[in-house]
Amino acid sequence: MSEPAPNTTESSVQRNVRHASGNPEVAMFRQRLARSSHDVEAWLGLVNYAKHVGDDALLHETYTDALKQYPTSGQLLASLAELELRRGNVQSAEAVFNSNLFSVPSIELWQCYLSYVLKANVDGQGVVSQPERRATVKQCYKLVLDNVGCDRDAGRIWADYIGFLSSGQTNAPYEEQQKTELLRETFQAAVAIPHLKVEEIWKNYDVFENRLDRATAKQMLSRTSPSYMTARTALRVMNKHWDAIRRSQPLHAIPAPPEWSSREIDYLEAWKKYLKWETENPLNMNDAGALRRRVVYAYSQACMALRFYPEIWIDFAEYLSSQDQHSDALAKMHSASKVLPSSLAVQFAYAEMAEKHKQPNVCKQVYENVIKLTRADIDSTTTRYTQKLDKLEKRLAQISVKKAVSEDQQDMQDTEAPAEAPLADSDSDSDESEGMGDDSGVEDNASDTSGPERSGAAAAMEKAKRRINARMVGTKARMEQDLSGIRELYTLSWIMYLRYVQRSEGIDAVRQLLRRPRSDPPGYLTYHLFVSAAQMEYHVAKKPGVAAKLFEFYSKMFSDQPAYIVEYMNYLINSGDDTNARALFERFQGTSTGDSGDIWSTFAEFEYNYGDLSVIAKLDKRFIEKFEHESVLTRLAARYSYLDVDTVAVHDFGFPYRKEHRGDVSATSGYRRFGDAGHDNAGPADIDSGSELPAIAVGSVTGRHLRKDQLLAPVTPKRFVKLNTSALEEYEPVVEDYVQPEPMSATYASGGGSLNATEAHHAISPTAPPHSQLLEQGDVLSYVAASVSNIDPQSFGPRALDSDALLDAILQIRGLGQQQGQSNYRPLAYLPRQPLHGGSHSGSQSRQGRPVGRGRMSRSRSRGYSGYDDNHGDRRSFGSTRQSPRRGSGYRQLPYNRSPNGSSRPPRSSGYDQRRVSRGGYRDDNSY
């Protein structure tokens, strides 16, 4: 249902027009408010503009109109009261206080009222000195604290009240004793409430007690300290809740109807968490009445902030009902029904609560109001769109008439053409039509054209007719979309009303009430109402014959809706009428393929459960012939399942996994439970040529032919970008003269043995090669090509060249492995195989025949590696959290090792070694 129109009087509208006509800025804000009465920025813009120009009349009108939308906004009410007091309208300000103070628990409004009372009772020196006036102010403070004293922001009022009591003059000892007792009670009450000034007031209370008597101060403070500590602890938790609320609150905390954005959802959830915390009694109150007043105040604040959220009102009423405050709960739901007349949740909850409290008149009134409101929405929406369609049809008719007149004139001119040809030529330039983009211009200029221009005018009229027809189609689509939601609300309202009447008055009253919706025009109700009525006849009245007649009667009205036929079929199956169920299927199975899938699936499940095997085989054959996506495999998956047990389809056929495999056409529709068949059977017109289609794999498990629209799907440039090979250039490495290295061992000529890494290194990269400048230039590919091309191909065996040796040679030539000219270079292949995570190799023994250095590697407790320095003899940690390595904890540093000739060398520090070690796994000679 649409939101009700703003409750504005004629005088306010006239005032808005008067201000809007005189100022364009005001006119802009008023236009925005006319489009949306909950535009908070427009309301605040009007308020700020009126304050800026000093127009109190405009400011008063804006406050008045805004309060019609937000009557529980304490900020707006306090601003209006202050404006009235500033203008000298004391009676108007008092009227604001009297009508809103007790219904709107806003601390801003109560503070405004307290300021008004204080200003009215102070003397010329700015203090309240007279006893009568002090008594009035004291009563005002008590009234304010009784209503909003538990507020988080009430600390200032508590502090002012304590200061007001302390400033009182006494003339006798008993008056001083009364003042002391009253101050002590006020202090103790203030420090037991979690407000923002609780710590400050506690310090003042400590000073107050110690100033009176240090002997009794400790006893008084120890008695009050537990409640103070509880309040201070609760304040910390409360601050977290309020921080979450204020992070997501709307602009200036003015409520607005929810659009269910993420910010609004966070705002709602923050309030609900705070309310739950309040109901859990975080202050450990022993007084149930005090706890209830505190929770009621929290819910009242939530209803002010979340005015347009139905669930807050319902939760509030449920809490009151749980506290045996039934009259208050019913009154709260009555208020919610006035605030949210279009909320079905609020209206139905209000009716059910009235039903619990034996108030049938209230229940009927609520249901009647809801039905009346939803029916009015359908009428207004239908009227609005019908008027638009009538206008378009009139314009289309006018164009058709103009076209017919133009054709008649053309026939007459063709008949009289020899006599009037010169006249037509002379007038041809003065009769050009203009404004062909507008339909009205086409209609006006169509009859004024002559000669060759008539063909252009006719084409323009055809274009205008097509445009009007397109607008009519779009208008009808929007009308159907808007009406579909309202129809559901209207139908649901009747169903809830029938349920209540059945509970309270019986099935006969339901039959009498059902006559009213049956008399509505076609299209006002959905089939759900009549399904509900038939089911009531079966379950409540125990008359299956009446229910079957109702189903059969309305099957003629809803024959084009397969969902109703499915409900009818389910009723026949559940009532044991198998014959009529099969007859119903045969009658409606010929519906269009895309719509009848649910009917087929429902009937197939019935036959699978209770039918004969020969009948099932015939049905499966018809099923496969009916739907292209079905096959023997998909029917087996549906037949070998029950309810939610899909073991065969999941484990044996793997349908859930094949849906992710885009090469199988049946994967996207292969496993079909009832209610899903037929929806993927879209024709070529239903598939967008630019949309993404699944990949087609020839030889699908379904064994069915692929659809033509899938085979002929265009290859769009957006999906498949063709590589432009003309922009690529062939790479030609630069090869310089190279000195032939010494021949390799003869062992490799026969393909046996393993090439020594040192030999491979010297064979590929001899000392100071003539083309080493290629590496200095960064051209590694040219260097590799030159090195490999100069090796004798006949000397290669099965393992003629080691990739590690080749890369080590390249890095050594570049100067990364060791310093230039160092002769005792040891390739990486000579290092022992050691796992990165766990395990160690120690000692001087070799693994797989390779020499191993004396440096021992072992894993430390903190995921680092440690070893002994061969040259220094001390223990060092590498990668440990206790001592950061010199070269970064991200790399594993190698211990000192010895080359084959026995000389020790420092560990290699090349980036290549570090990268290889940091990748994990074992350091293998031939597996990089």
For 747-778, how does the pLDDT look when each residue is reduced to its tens digit (9 = 90+)? 434 444 444 444 444 444 444 345 556 666 66
Secondary structure of 509-572 in the HEC alphabet?
HHHHHHHHHHCCCCCCCCCHHHHHHHHHHHHCCCCHHHHHHHHHHHHHHCCCCHHHHHHHHHHH
Tens of pLDDT, residues 552-567: 999 989 988 899 999 9
Lowest model confidence (mean pLDDT) among 33-37, 637-641, 751-755: 751-755
- Segment 324-352 shows an average pLDDT of 94
- What pLDDT digit, counting tens, does each position of 151-199 carry? 999 999 999 999 999 988 888 888 889 999 999 999 999 999 999 999 9
Tell me: the pLDDT tens digits for 827-844? Answer: 433 334 444 344 444 443
Which 3 state secondary structure label does DSSP give 590? coil
Q: What is the mean pLDDT of the chain?
A: 74
Residues 217-237 have pLDDT tens digits of 888 999 999 999 999 999 999
Is-contact 62 47, C-beta < 8 A? yes
Query: What element of type H or E holds 858?
Result: strand 858-859
Q: For residue 888, what are the contacts with CB-CB under 8 A and spacing of at least 6?
A: none
* pLDDT over threshold 50, residue 28: yes
What does the radius of gyration of the chain's CA atoms come to, in whole angstroms? 45
Residue with the two structure tokens 């009215």:
120
Q: Is 918 helix (H, G, I), strand (E, B) or coil?
A: helix
Which has the higher per-residue pLDDT, 431 or 605?
605
| Whether pLDDT at 147 is above 70 | yes
CA distance 191 to 201: 7
Whether the pLDDT of residue 518 is over 80: the answer is yes
Mean pLDDT (whole number) for 238-262 = 90
First to last CA, the chain: 70
Q: Return the exposure string of 25-39: e unless at least 16 CB atoms fall within 10 Å of the residue's CB, then b.
A: ebeebbebbeeebbb
Q: How far apart are CA 435 and CA 445, in angstroms?
A: 9
CB atoms within 10 A of CB 395: 19
Banded model confidence at residue 396, pLDDT cuts 50, 70, 90: confident
Alpha-carbon distance 624 to 179, whole Å? Answer: 94
Cβ(647)–Cβ(671) below 8 Å:
no
Strands 858-859 and 875-878: unpaired
Of 555-564, 692-701, 727-736, 849-858, highest mean pLDDT = 555-564
DSSP-based helix, strand, coil % in the chain, nearest 5: 60, 0, 35
Predicted pLDDT at 325: 92
Task: Considering only residues 461 and 446, tell me which one the structure prediction assigns the higher pLDDT.
Answer: 461
Q: Which amino acid is at 365?
A: Q
Identify the pLDDT of residue 806.
60
The token duo for 12 is 């306010």
pLDDT in tens, 38-88: 888 899 889 999 998 888 999 999 999 999 989 989 999 999 999 999 999
Q: Distance between CA atoms of 772 and 778, rounded to whole angstroms?
A: 10
802: which 2 tokens? 């080691």
Res 734: pLDDT: 56
pLDDT in tens, 671-715: 444 334 444 333 333 333 333 334 334 333 344 444 444 445 455
| pLDDT computed for residue 813 by the predictor | 54
Question: Is the pLDDT higher at 778 or at 253?
Answer: 253
What pLDDT is attached to residue 240?
Answer: 96
Distances (CA, A) of 902 to 23, 441, 819, 844, 854: 99, 104, 19, 12, 11
> What is the DSSP annotation of 600-668?
HHHHHHHHHHHS-HHHHHHHHHHHHHH-TT--HHHHHHHHT-BTTB-HIIIIIS-HHHHTS-TT-GGGT
Please give the angle made by the CA atoms of 390, 391 and 393, to the nearest 5 degrees: 65
pLDDT band of residue 635 (cuts 50, 70, 90) is very high
